[in-house]
Structure 1
Amino acid sequence: MSSNREQFRPDGHDNDHFLLTTVVGSYPKPKWLDRANDLHEDPDADFGDEELAEAEDDAARLITEEHERAGLDVVVDGEMRRNEMVEFFADRIEGYEFNGPVKVWGHNYFDKPSVVSDVSYDESWLVDEYEFTAGVADSPVKVPITGPYTLASWSFNEAYDGDDELAYDLADLVNEEIEKLVDAGARYIQIDEPALATTPDDHAIVGECLERIAAGIPDDVRIGLHVCYGDYSRIYPEILEFPVDEFDLELANGDYEQLDVFTDPEFSKDLALGVVDAHVAEVESVEEIERNIRKGLEVVPPERLTVSPDCGVKLLPREVAYGKMANLVEAARNVEADLDDGSIDVPAAPADD
């Protein structure tokens, strides 16, 4: 089942066991990049598209290298070129238009778009971003993409009879984009569907979307699904039918109260477990993260466990985000060593069919 995971093991990895370490996606932007965006939006400032692109390249290079310095096995650029997870993609999909900012939580806003005509695929959304990141990274690069269900649910639908039909059309567009990413060399794609946890009765719609997304994608391309902040018992075990390799789940924020949900029936996919809390601006100790990783081993054997933050960490202070990543990696390597010397009991891996 996990045949596409071993490709991400670093050459010369110190331990026999391998817990894949990565991030969900977003990361705090350097303050100077925020100022560059402000200048770009100021009509009186001499700061055009070329200057902004240079700033984004510099930030993407910096954060990619920061992820590698923390020791992560699979990196991203921290989504330095993206403003918001729906807005960024809606701006690149034909059929969307924008109406102005909508408050979502606290003091955070996003420009909630409307779908005013049938959606269609024009130019690639992420290939340039991926190629740049892969060009500056020594490590494999993961590509997060906001999923079609969330793109539909978090938009005003003025063109389709139902959000499900909109989501299915968007899924076909995501499939086109992934095909282009695969052609460019991407081997790890993460579909972000936070809306699933808030409207879990629609898991069948998400499943159909994922069937469309995965159609024709080679088996060596790892497809993950990120879901966060909801009642997982309302989508489990149905999500095990989804055509993905890995489920990336937020569980640290809830102190693993929902962990038992995934033990009955047996969790049959790979698990990307959130082991640091993206909403707490304090760096967890290595020892605490080790305990959290061991909780994941109650659900899946180590060869099917990925270690990551709960969610994107863009709202944290940058030094805190880095500290969490560095401690996450150190904790994962320590748990691998404990597995190697037999000091951790783990469930047996199921026999291959």
Structure 2
Amino acid sequence: MQPVPIRTTVVGSYPFPGWLEFATQNLDKFGPADIEEMVEDAVVAAIHDQTTAGLDVITDGEQTRLDFNLSFYGYLKGIEPNHAETRKFGPAAHDQRGKHSIVAELTAPAGLGAVKEFQRLQKLAPSGPTLKASVPGPYTLSGRMLPNAHYKDRYEITEALLPIVRKELEDLVAAGCTEITVDEPSMSCYAYKEDTRRFVNIFNRTVAPVVGKCRLSTHLCFGNFKGRPVGFRKIHPMLPDFLDLSVDEVHVEMANREFDEVELLAEFAQKMDVAVGIVDVKNYYIETVQDVVERIRKCLKYVPADKLAVAPDCGLSQTARWAARQKLVNLVAGAREVRKG
């Protein structure tokens, strides 16, 4: 059970400052020391916005990740970009994201970079809020890799990535990280057509070494590249199997779906804490404090206050910073109002 009733948290990512977006397109003009300074400044900005809003749990905003999971591909050996497989024109959508061919055994001799990110967050964050790290699960991480003769399908690629992700989780705990989210949006996106028991088995084997050693959560959403979902946006295909995920908390996208299936939160709450997406990261309507209050009270019909956390629906990387900032401010203010009764 979580220590704070109606805890305020985030999934992981936060918008890049405009100057960082520009700099990432011109990295050849900067030296290594310049880039490290730039990253630290961006993390400071993300920390500032989250702590000013008053969140109980903060992240580094994933300011070193140019893409949620493709950034991790830079740490993997045995792959190379495959631009021929990517659509290049027309409305931005998931099929324009980069794909990679597998050319050798998949390894990550230096890890996936999450430990260094967390250590930077430890150095820069003030005391008070809980510090959280986010890592993509192996099934989601496999999504942009093309099968080959050695790895015949996505599941074989997933199995190759599983020990790499598991080692990253172990290293995070060893570095002092007490809260980790393992992001598996691909599992929730494809629960309607894939074997959900197989998903649970993959997830639980991934996290097994850190269960009980940190507060462990997973994020289940339906995709958010350029504000566009990709999956079948229903929770019921995940049940009852996803109730067996080895987590302390599950994060569920709700606001963008107008709280459809909110009653199903009660099933999750019987087995774990529940973090509910209360503000919509794909919508530029800024939820008022009263909106947040009403939405939290709706959730309290199904999840006890001491098991409920509130958050944005998804990571905020695809949302303009001005909107993300105000959504977080109102999220925290609404939670505090409900806590007061």
TM-score, normalised to structure 1, is 0.86
Measured after TM superposition, the shift of residue 151 of structure 1 is 1.3
Select 1:199's aligned residue among 176, 179, 190: 190
Letter matched to residue 41 of structure 2: D
Residue aligning to 1:89 = 72
Matches within 5 A, 1:1-353: 2=1, 5-6=2-3, 9=4, 18-41=5-28, 46-100=29-83, 102-103=86-87, 106-107=91-92, 109-124=96-111, 125-138=113-126, 139-158=129-148, 159-200=150-191, 201-229=194-222, 230-263=233-266, 267-338=270-341
Distance 1:265 1:144 in 2: 21
- Of 91-100 and 322-331, more deviation after overlay is shown by 91-100
Letter matched to residue 75 of structure 2: R
Q: Deviations over 1:139-185 (max 9, x none)?
A: 22111111111112332122313322321231211110011111111
User: Are the counterparts in 2 of residues 237 and 265 from structure 1 also a CA contact under 8 Å?
Assistant: no
Distance 1:40 1:225 in 2: 33
Q: Deviations over 1:194-217 (max 9, x none)?
A: 111221123223212222222221
Measured after TM superposition, the shift of residue 37 of structure 1 is 1.3
Distance 2:103 2:263 in 1: 43
Residues 324 and 287 of structure 1: CA distance in aligned 2, closer, same or farther (over 3 Å): same
Distance 2:267 2:117 in 1: 40
Residues 162 and 107 of structure 1: CA distance in aligned 2, closer, same or farther (over 3 Å): closer
Distance 2:277 2:133 in 1: 18
Residues 215 and 133 of structure 1: CA distance in aligned 2, closer, same or farther (over 3 Å): same
Distance 1:277 1:211 in 2: 29
State the secondary structure of the residue aligned to 1:185: coil
Letter matched to residue 56 of structure 2: D
- Of 234-243 and 206-215, more deviation after overlay is shown by 206-215
Runs of 4+ residues over 4 Å off in structure 1: none
User: Are the counterparts in 2 of residues 40 and 49 from structure 1 also a CA contact under 8 Å?
Assistant: no
Q: Deviations over 1:238-262 (max 9, x none)?
A: 1011111111110110111121233
Residue aligning to 1:346 = none
Letter matched to residue 143 of structure 2: S
Distance 2:339 2:302 in 1: 16
Structure 2 gaps of 5+ residues are 223-232
State the secondary structure of the residue aligned to 1:226: strand
State the secondary structure of the residue aligned to 1:312: coil
Distance 1:117 1:244 in 2: 33
Distance 1:280 1:330 in 2: 19
Residue aligning to 2:226 = none
Residues 132 and 183 of structure 1: CA distance in aligned 2, closer, same or farther (over 3 Å): same
User: Are the counterparts in 1 of residues 268 and 274 from structure 2 also a CA contact under 8 Å?
Assistant: no
Equivalenced residues, count? 321
Measured after TM superposition, the shift of residue 234 of structure 1 is 0.7
Identity value in percent: 31
Distance 2:316 2:87 in 1: 20
- Of 214-223 and 243-252, more deviation after overlay is shown by 214-223
Structure 1 gaps of 5+ residues are 10-17, 339-353
Residue aligning to 1:345 = none
Distance 2:268 2:277 in 1: 21
State the secondary structure of the residue aligned to 1:334: helix
Distance 2:7 2:87 in 1: 36
Letter matched to residue 278 of structure 1: V
Letter matched to residue 248 of structure 2: D
